[in-house]
Amino acid sequence: MRTAAAVRRYLTHLRVERALSAATLAAYTADLARYLDHLGASRLNCAGAGGAGGAGGAGSAGVGPASAGLASAGPASAGPANAGLGESWRGSGSSGTGPGDLGPGETGSGDPELAAVTPAVIEGFRERLAADGLAAASVARTMASVRGLHRFAFLEGWTQSDPAGEVAPPKTSARLPKALTTGQVEALIAATGEDLTARALVELLYGAGARVSEVLQLDVDDLGLGDRGAGAQVPPSAWVRVVGKGGKERIVPMGGCAQAAVESYLVRERPARVARGGGTPALLVGRRGRRLTRQAAFELVRSAGEAAGLEGVSPHTLRHSFATHLLQGGADIRVVQELLGHASVTTTQIYTKVTPDQLREVYAAAHPRAL
């Protein structure tokens, strides 16, 4: 099977069977497009439907790279993950019998047989990524996409081995997630001013610890706004239904501050915005009456951060702050795992790492000769 056909089927698998989000599919698409371009330039077996391992020969010119059109796949759309991948993914004269199918004898220039890929070729791709200046985390993510493709192909019986399994994953430094102090969070919220949409967004990101994609896909019906009670002694009765990665649903409590911000937005700002767009079930709505976009959300948080004198604040910074403050307040790590929607507690454990400042504080307070 040609690599382009395998990639298309793999993307369909990720979308249909694993139900990955549009943003995650877009990342896989970009990673595998880069990989296909590397394979095309490697001149593997691209000159016919023969066996694996041969060098590219006649018939490899005149057609664009196998990844041509991949960027326009549009995983975020409602269509299949392979929609709009471009005809160069099929090769000439494709029968179109199924997603990624190539007819007998079709070649597709720059599109080698998947079985021709060796561990050395994959290692060369990893080295090329590093040489191109990609950050270690970006290299690791791209290589994870490549490993997933080859593992899937092996399990499906398209290849007799998994060459990516023989390539060691790149090492990445375990950096502590950036979190704001409680005072900085208060300043950020205050900096939203009279922009009720921005305030509701920030309060939800910090109050529920949700990913920005999860907050933006919320509908009004996903909220449960209970009575805020008589004060801080009353546990919050409001909640929000969040759909996370893989379509997994979780219910997250919503504190009184977040509830008040959301209720104010629902009453004073959302109706006018919805009227401009003709109606939408979306909770957070942009100025044109449509669901707030990811770009607009990042800009709202960034602008509030600048107004508060904070640099590099993003929606994910608020999620990190949510988890960090809960653990610092004595919350059980398993509870934090549930609230964040992590599949494994090992992902949550990064928030338990001790910072150098914390080490110094404990040392100064506990060691008898620290002073």
Task: Give CA–CA dist 215/209, Å, rounded.
Answer: 9
Name the catalytic one among 8, 319, 320, 325: 319
Name the catalytic one among 28, 206, 265, 351: 351
Name the catalytic one among 34, 273, 325, 342: 342
Which of 124, 126, 102, 127 has the alpha carbon at shortest distance from 46? 102
The answer to whether residue 316 is catalytic is yes
The answer to whether residue 10 is catalytic is no
**Which helix (H) or strand (E) segment is 249 a member of?**
strand 249-254
The answer to whether residue 319 is catalytic is yes
The answer to whether residue 150 is catalytic is no
Which of 119, 146, 109, 103 has the alpha carbon at shortest distance from 10? 146
The answer to whether residue 211 is catalytic is yes
Name the catalytic one among 211, 273, 320, 325: 211
Instruction: Decide: 66 and 36 in contact? Cβ < 8 Å.
Output: yes
Provide the token pair at 251: 């219910």
Which of 12, 14, 9, 39 has the alpha carbon at shortest distance from 24? 14
- The one-letter code for the residue type at 70 is L
Handedness of CA 179, 182, 184, 186 (dihedral sign): positive
The answer to whether residue 245 is catalytic is yes
Residue 238, number of CB atoms within 10 A of its CB: 21
Residues 6+ apart with CB under 8 A from 233: none
Name the catalytic one among 147, 151, 245, 291: 245
Residues marked active site are found at: 211, 245, 316, 319, 342, 351
